[in-house]
């Protein structure tokens, strides 16, 4: 177990390092001066210093060398400055992380609960009109463009009905009510988009479990449906579902980018989009590294959760 974890964490570290290089290189290919990354990161740079830097890190300097300079600074905790906001990158990222966690966390809990409930109902009522309606709802959720859904909601609830704010963050004096009002539409969007796939997955897992022999045995022994469900089926059906959920945890920070942008929610996703689209290279780079790190951590957590829930699988077993 310990060695397995160590191996996975080392592997994830290597992937993170590689990925930071790839993203660094890709960002260097975006429009604008590649030296922006270094020079504009610090608002106090004078023209003389810039000239000096330009000489120091000439455009001809190989990308590996520029990356190395960035990496050494980053490893020492110096993630540099944002070009647009003229603040240290970390000062921008930390509040954004908090906002994203509130939004995606709420959506995550709601959509997982809803998905497992709907999936279980659909599996039990397999082939009936209830199953078909849930299936249609799930397919619609999978197939709808989230930004369009957001657009429609803003028009309906903010422009026409005036019930909810069109977007933005609640002011502190608005209290919990303000928070809820501002969260309502983005959370609803995320829930609709995320529930579909998960509900279908939960349905398939539940059907699989229900068709297995021990459930049939339990049924034959006269267990009532409700008790049987709780005792046997749900627990086993939850294993694959929770694994998928854990894998999706990684998307918590970036998956909501479009939704955050639509509703002007000041989270990580929106920050990344703004940074990329606004050529704020250093901010974009650091944000993406944070997101990648969370994806990798979530993957490791998914592995652990999987083992913990299913004793038949042992950690460290070579996966084929």
Partner 1 sequence: MTEAAVSVWQLRWRRLARDRVALGALSVLVLLYVLCFSAAWIELWLDVTGVDTDLMSRFDPIDARHWLGSDEAGRDEFTRILRGGQISLSIGLFAALGSSFVGTVIGAMAGYFRGRVDMVLMRFTDFMLAMPALPVLIILAAIDLTKLGFSQDFVRSGAAGYWRIVLIVTLLGWTTVARLVRAATLSLVEREFVLAARAQGASSLRILWVHVLPNAVTPIIVATTLRMGGVILTESALSFLGVGIQPPSTSWGSMLTNAQELMASNPLLAVYPGAAILLAVIAINFVGDGLQSAFDPRADPH
Instruction: Give the C-alpha separation, 130 to 123, whole Å.
Output: 10
What is each CA distance from 24 to 210, 285, 288, in whole angstroms?
Answer: 49, 7, 10
Place of tokens 């959760």: 305
User: Which two structure tokens, joined as six digits, stand for 202?
Assistant: 């939960």
Q: Which stretch binds partner 1 (CB under 8 A): 48-56, 107-115, 149-157, 168-176?
A: 149-157
- Binding pattern for the stretch 11-30 against partner 1, x by CB under 8 A and - elsewhere: ----x--xx---x--xx-xx
74 secondary structure, DSSP code = H
Site string for partner 1, 89-118 (x = CB under 8 A): ------------------------------
For 29, 77, 212, 233, 250, the CA distances from 109, given in Å and listed in that order, are 38, 33, 29, 21, 14
Tell me if 254 contacts partner 1 by CB under 8 A: yes
Helices 89-124 & 175-210 angle (0-180, nearest 10): 40
Tell me: does residue 145 bind partner 1 (CB under 8 A).
yes
Q: Closer to partner 1 at the Cβ: 79 or 229?
A: 79
31 part of the interface to partner 1, by CB under 8 A:
yes
Residue of the chain from 51, 159, 230, 313 that contacts partner 1 (CB under 8 A): 159
Entry field: residues in the chain:
320
Q: Could you give the angle at the alpha carbon of 194 between the alpha carbons of 202 and 107, nearest 5°?
A: 110
Q: Does 257 bind partner 1 (CB under 8 A)?
A: yes
Locate tokens 């060398």: which residue?
65
151 contributes a contact to partner 1 by CB under 8 A: yes
* Total residues binding partner 1 (CB under 8 A): 46
The least distance separating partner 1 from the CB of residue 12, rounded to whole angstroms, comes to 9
Give me the residues that bind partner 1 (CB under 8 A), please.
15, 18-19, 23, 26-27, 29-32, 139-140, 142-149, 151-152, 154-155, 159, 250-251, 253-255, 257-258, 261, 272-273, 276-277, 284, 287-288, 291-292, 295-296, 299, 320
């Amino acid at each position: 177990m310990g060695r397995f974890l160590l191996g996975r964490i080392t592997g994830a570290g290597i992937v993170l390092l590689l990925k930071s290089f790839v993203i660094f290189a890709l960002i260097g290919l975006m429009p604008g001066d590649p030296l922006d990354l270094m020079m504009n990161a610090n608002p106090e740079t004078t023209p003389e210093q810039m000239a000096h830097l330009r000489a120091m890190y000439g455009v001809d300097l190989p990308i590996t060398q520029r990356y190395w300079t960035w990496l050494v600074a980053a490893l020492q905790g110096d993630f540099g400055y944002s070009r647009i906001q003229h603040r240290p990158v970390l000062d921008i990222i930390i509040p954004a992380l908090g906002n994203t966690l509130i939004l995606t966390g709420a959506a995550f809990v709601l959509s997982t609960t809803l998905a497992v409930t709907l999936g279980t109902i659909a599996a039990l009522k397999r082939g009936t009109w209830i199953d078909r309606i849930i299936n249609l709802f799930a397919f619609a959720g999978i197939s709808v463009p989230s930004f369009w859904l957001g657009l429609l909601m803003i028009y309906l609830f903010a422009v026409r009905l005036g019930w909810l704010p069109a977007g933005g963050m609640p002011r502190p004096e608005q209290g919990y009510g303000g928070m809820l009002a501002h969260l309502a539409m983005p959370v609803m969007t995320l829930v609709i988009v995320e529930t579909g796939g998960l509900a279908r997955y939960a349905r398939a897992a539940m059907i699989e479990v229900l068709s297995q022999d021990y459930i049939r045995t339990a049924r034959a022994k006269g267990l009532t449906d409700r008790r049987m469900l709780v005792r046997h089926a749900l627990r086993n059906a939850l294993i694959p579902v929770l694994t998928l959920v854990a894998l999706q945890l990684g998307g918590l920070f970036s998956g909501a980018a479009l939704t955050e942008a639509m509703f002007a929610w000041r989270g990580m996703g929106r920050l990344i989009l703004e940074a990329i689209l606004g050529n704020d290279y250093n901010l974009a780079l650091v944000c993406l590294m944070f997101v990648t790190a969370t994806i990798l951590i979530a993957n490791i957590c998914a592995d652990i959760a999987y083992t913990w829930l299913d004793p038949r699988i042992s950690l460290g077993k070579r996966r084929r």
